Structure formats: structure tokens, C-alpha cells
Amino acid sequence: MAGSTPEARLAVVTGGARGIGLAIAGELIADGWHVAAVDVNPKAIARLADHPDVEAGRLLPTELSVVDRPAVERFVAGAVERFGAVGALVNNAGMTLPATFLDQGDDDWDRIVDVNLKGTFVMSQVVARRMVEAGEGSIVSVSSVSAHGVRTGPPAYAAAKAGVEGLSRLMAVQLGPVGVRVNTVVVGTTATPWLLGRKTEEELEAMRETTLTGRIGDPQDVGRVMAFLCSPAARHVHGQLISVSGGQWMP
């Protein structure tokens, strides 16, 4: 980012200690960023202790709940004090629970919407206030093809991701004029350890057949797009829904 030294070039990735989030962090590090990998899962944070990028000081695992506003505010204030600014935020943290429309419970609805939608709002608002002061920054949020009816699943997740897209459009309109770019990446079926550990080869093959490329995406496919959107190379990309789904959903 303009005006930042390499030491002060910080990106924050929520849900960044595992799966797609860790791949995003890796691509940002390869692009020259220091990355704070925020995650609520203490075991995932602990597993990064011997990661080479942690040992080199480029990856900074941080245990944090994205819906805990006081904790988020303390974290962001500390990041700004240490690095001078937060140049990029990737809202990747999310969760879901199995259900259909007819059996989704209220408690699960609240939990899913809280993490996926409210967490994106809280993190974005706290970070954006700092970005506005600096006059620059990039915020990218993760949505899902589930928001577009491409695959079945819990209604709370589909609704929350659709909400993320609407929130991101509003943020783009209000933050663009003050120097903060906002975009959304719509992710399709991706071969995370979580997915591969729960699906049979027959189920995975059925998923491959839903794409136009004949393959399930890799976490790095998402990470590379995120790194581009956070970079100055994407300075004129703003307010967009970008599908990284192998054609499962086409805007």
C-alpha cells in the first residue's frame, strides 16, 4: 500500500489458521504481506507454532472471535500500533451446521448468522474506521455459491452469505469515495481438509461434475484471487462479486 514500509504492510485474515484462510494467508505472504491469521479455534492456532512463516515473523496467529467487538477493537488497535496500519482485511471466518429449511432450528440459525454475517460486519467496521483515517485499504469478504441456490444446504448459511454480499455492496458505495476498496469472492466447492475428510470419492466425483472445469477448487485458487484483490494491481476493481467456483455459479 502507498506510504507503507514493508514492515508495516499488514493484512488480516479471519478464519486464517486453517483451510482456505491459511491458503489465503500463504498467498498474501508470498505477495509481500505480513499476515495476522485470526481464528477462534485454539487448536488450529497451536498447530501453526512450527510453521516456517510463523518462525520468520511473517505469519502472526491470533486467537480471536470475530463477533467479540471489544476484543476485535483491542486487536486492531494493537495491530495499528505495531504496523502503522492495516492495509487489507479478508473476511473468511465462517461456519455452518447441517440442516434443511424444514428442520433448521433457531439456535443454529442465530449461531450461523452471527459468525458469517455479524462477524463480517464487526471486523469490517472496526478495520474500516482505521483505513478511512489512513485514506486507503482493501476489504474482501468470502461468500458462497450457496447464496445463489447452486447447492442445497442449511438456510441460515445461504441467507448469511447473501447478507454478506449485500453488506459488501453497501460498504463499497460508502467507503469507495474515501479510499477503501471492497469486493466479494463467491467460493464454490473447495478441497479443504474439512471437506476431504468427510466425503467419499463418489461424493467428490459428483461435486466435480457440478463444475465447468471438471475439478474441485483448491484453497490456493481462492488465495491467489484474494492476493490480487488486496494488491495495488486491483486498484480499479471495486464493488464486485467475483466467482471462484469453476463455473458452478457465473455472475
Q: Is the backbone of residue 41 left (phi > 0), alpha (psi -120 to 50) or beta?
A: beta
| Identity of residue 17 | A
Please give the DSSP secondary-structure letter assigned to residue 216: P
- Look up cell 463499497; give the residue: 172
Say if residue 65 is exposed, middle or buried (CB neighbours under 10 Å; 0-12, 13-18, 19+).
middle
Assigned C-alpha cell, 176:
469507495
Provide CB contacts within 8 A for 226, sequence distance 6+.
24, 27, 28, 90, 140, 185
Start-to-end CA distance of the chain, whole Å, equals: 29
Give the number of other CB atoms < 10 A from CB of residue 161: 27
CB 116 within 8 A of CB 50: no
Q: Where are the alpha helices (DSSP H) in 143-218?
A: 155-175, 193-196, 201-208
> Is 157 labeled as catalytic in the residue annotation?
yes
Diameter of the chain measured on Cα atoms: 53
Q: Name the catalytic one among 157, 168, 221, 243.
A: 157
Q: Which residues form the catalytic set?
A: 157
